[in-house]
Amino acid sequence: MIGHRDGVKVEVYTYGQLLKRLMEQQPDWDLEDAMEWADYNIVGAWEGPDTPIYVSLDDDDEIVVINDWSSYSIEFDREAVMKQFKLEEMYD
């Protein structure tokens, strides 16, 4: 999915997608291992204005940007993101 940070096109990924890919690449990792590595090395890493946006759902099923640097304007298609979350639920 594509979003924008201050007008720059960036990729938008769900946190679940990220964790699933990490565990596929590292079969000996469990969910906790993947979360720890992802939070420190990917989600918490600022790579400039084209850093991907990572989103998750909160307890109320609201979309939350989990790597939000508040000085930037972030826009993405919330409907497309919700569809992605629903697809992930279907195939998990």
**Range 41-55 average pLDDT:** 90
**Does the structure show a pLDDT above 80 at 70?**
no
76-92 pLDDT, tens digit each: 988 888 888 888 876 66
- Look at the pTM and tell me if it is higher than 0.85: no
Report the alpha-carbon distance of residue 37 to residue 22 in Å, rounded. 9
22-36 pLDDT, tens digit each: 999 999 999 999 999
Nearest 10 degrees: Cα torsion 62, 23, 88, 5? 50
pLDDT at site 41? 95
